[in-house]
Amino acid sequence: MDKIYLNRLSFYGYHGLFKAESELGQRFYVDLELELDLKPAGISDEMEDSINYGEVYQLTKEVVEGERLSLIEAVAEKISAQLLSNFAQLTACRVKVVKPDPPIPGHYESVAVEIYRVRS
């Protein structure tokens, strides 16, 4: 299957288990891998045969910068659900949500979750 990649999209959100996270917020990064047939777009050179990256970015931004969630697992799940419901040509998507500098004991560069969802 053909793929479109959107890497290291950056957003400011308020997700997390701790009170400070919901008050102060922090940066989140999202990587997307979108599976679809790109041959029609390659032949026609027309946007309607592909997926508009700007629309994908905006939808992802609305999720990450929107409703506060406790877990980045829930953020990833919500992004994947929105992508699959808003872009009919998608057959599957991989969503990775990265939380830099998580407030957990020890020094960590980041924590991340990655999910893969297929249209049912």
- Would residue 39 show up in a list of annotated catalytic residues for this protein? no
- Exposure of 58 by Cβ count < 10 A (0-12 exposed, 13-18 middle, 19+ buried)? exposed
Note whether 36 and 1 are within 8 A (CB): yes
Query: With b meaning 16 or more CB within 10 Å and e meaning fewer, what string describes 44-54?
Result: eeeeebbbeee
Radius of gyration of the chain from Cα atoms? 15
Active-site entry in 3, 19, 61, 99 = 99
The set of catalytic residues is 99
